[in-house]
Amino acid sequence: MSRLNRLAVAAGAASALGALAAAGRGVGAAMGARPDGVRLERMRRSPHYRAGAFHNRRRGTASMPTSQRDVLERYRANAETRRPAGPIPVVSAHREPATEGLHVTWFGHASALVELDGVRLLLDPVWSERCSPSQHVGPRRLHATPVPLEALGRIDAVVISHDHYDHLDMATIQALAAGTDAVFVVPLGIGAHLDVWGVPGARVVECDWGEGHDVRGVRVTAVESQHFSGRGLRRDGTLWASWVLGGPGGRVFFSGDTGYFDGYGGIGAEHGPFDVSLMAVGAYDAAWRDIHLDPEEAVRATVELGGGLLLPIHWCTFVLAPHPWAEPVERLLVAAATEGVPVAVPRVGDRVDVADPPGLDPWWEAAAGLPVRA
């Protein structure tokens, strides 16, 4: 090998090592921390915790299948349709906080702002470019964030469903801890992550299913979901939850990430009926049936909840499953029409007045390259 070739190989190796170093930078911090001490003792008292991990109520529920070969085949088969063909429209208009009523602003994926009786609750906020422990590798967002975090204004509470990277983002949490006075209401164990990210312990409230916290007159209650948790190789070391947000001006159900189970009727009987339900409809696959709702299941769950207006979440922003990009909302509309469930599908960044929801605007069709309906 000539000296020139040796230099080229050395330069290539150095570049590769540099890229690996960049990809790994900050990964350890982003993975968070394991609960210990008083926090761990409280977790052990939960009826959902045994043998060092949390469990779904239905025994035998799989977290993720051990073999992903069929899933990878579906990824390859749907490679051209898993991403939109054109730009995703984003609404970036500044709005003054709503002082009354019930409004929901969807920021993409599972991130949303609920304004209820003037109380502002931010759900599963992810503002980073990637939902990954590294901002150099991992699923990258398909559209810009509608507004900078600092432009959101006052946030009274940040509510987290579970600790997966597409729902709990270190950089976003750190920015909210520094830039707002919000309390962080989270399932059991997640406070360990927030501790190492610098969130003051006095601003962290951890809840088991059935427990809640009052935020300026709005009750935020953790309820059962069927999912799993984990930010590294260890799974199920923190709890997962759906959330009920209730005040004089209305009631909201936030699914977070969950599969279908037989508990929705009971949740509705205890906490409903709801004015609006933010229901996960995307990132599903046959192999993940236990832990991710598909669109038809989201409609079924909404009916059983007495869920009111269905606002679909957990789609559009990241490619996390092999199904076509627009399929979740297309299937959802068919199922909802069959069951008589009202649906609002806002553009990313748009605010929905739940008392006066907008008519259907099929904005996703142009983005997906589908024939636009008349």
More confident residue, 185 or 79: 185
pLDDT value for 3: 53
Q: In this prediction, what percent of the chain has a pLDDT beyond 70?
A: 90
Q: Given a cut of 90, is residue 352 above it in pLDDT?
A: yes
- The mean pLDDT of 300-316, rounded to a whole number, is 98
In whole angstroms, give the CA distance from residue 315 to residue 312.
Answer: 8
pLDDT score for 345: 98
Q: What are phi and psi of 254, to 5 degrees?
A: -120, 115
Give mean pLDDT, residues 86-96. Answer: 93
**If DSSP codes are grouped into helix, strand and coil, which group holds residue 6?**
helix
* Helix ranges restricted to H, the chain: 3-24, 27-30, 37-44, 69-77, 170-179, 191-196, 264-271, 295-305, 327-339, 363-368
User: Mind listing the pLDDT tens digit for each residue in 143-157?
Assistant: 999 999 999 999 999
pLDDT in the model for residue 247: 97
Which pTM does this prediction carry?
0.91
Q: What is the pLDDT of residue 74?
A: 82
Would you place residue 28 in the very low, low, confident or very high pLDDT band (cuts 50, 70, 90)? Answer: confident
Residue 269 has pLDDT above 70, yes or no: yes
Judge whether 98 and 91 are in contact, CB under 8 Å.
Answer: no
